[in-house]
Amino acid sequence: MFFIVGFSNRDEFIKEVNFKCTNCLNEKFELYQVANVLTFFFIPLFKFNKKALIVCKNCKSIYKVKSESLKKILDSSIVTYDDIEEIVRNNNVCPNCGYMIDKNDKFCPNCGNKL
Ligand SMILES: [Zn+2]
Ligand SMILES: [Zn+2]
């Protein structure tokens, strides 16, 4: 007799929220809750290490939200800089059109905006 016990990462879309992206100035974000899930024969048993992330819809930058701010965000759908624990990923994008750019680019390859 053997058991199949595993761990998986689950992303759960919660809702759309407002936050001003420090990267591209977009204000439309999606709030996700990510949890490590202990599985038993591929059936999720329980979740732990829950954390909340917001993802910029424009440049896909990811910010980690403080757990104590989560309830307020769920109520108001508004995230402020005080609610951010850390920047998980900050993509380089053109501030004009949101196109992904390289750090060394002088001009946006998509719209020609000077960077
Ligand atoms: Zn952004
Ligand atoms: Zn551009």
The pLDDT score that the predictor gives to residue 3 is 65
Ligand nearest to the backbone CA of 111: 2
Q: What is the pTM (predicted TM-score) of this model?
A: 0.70
pLDDT band at 2 (very low <50, low <70, confident <90, very high): low
Structure tokens at 5: 């016990």
CA 48–ligand 1 middle distance (angstroms): 28
Ligand 2: centre distance to CA 56 (Å): 17
Give me ligand 1 centre to Cα 49, in Å.
Answer: 26
Cα-to-centroid distance, 32 and ligand 1 (Å): 16
Which bound ligand lies closest to the C-alpha atom of 28? 1
**Bridge partners (DSSP) listed for residue 40:** 5, 43
With a CB cutoff of 8 Å and minimum separation 6, the contacts of 16 are: 28, 29, 30, 31, 77
Q: Counting every residue, how long is the chain?
A: 115
The C-alpha atoms of residue 94 and residue 31 are separated, in whole angstroms, by: 23
pLDDT tens across 9-50, in order? 778 899 999 999 988 889 999 999 988 888 888 788 777 778
- Given this model, what pLDDT does residue 79 score? 97
Distance 100 CA to ligand 1 centre (A): 11
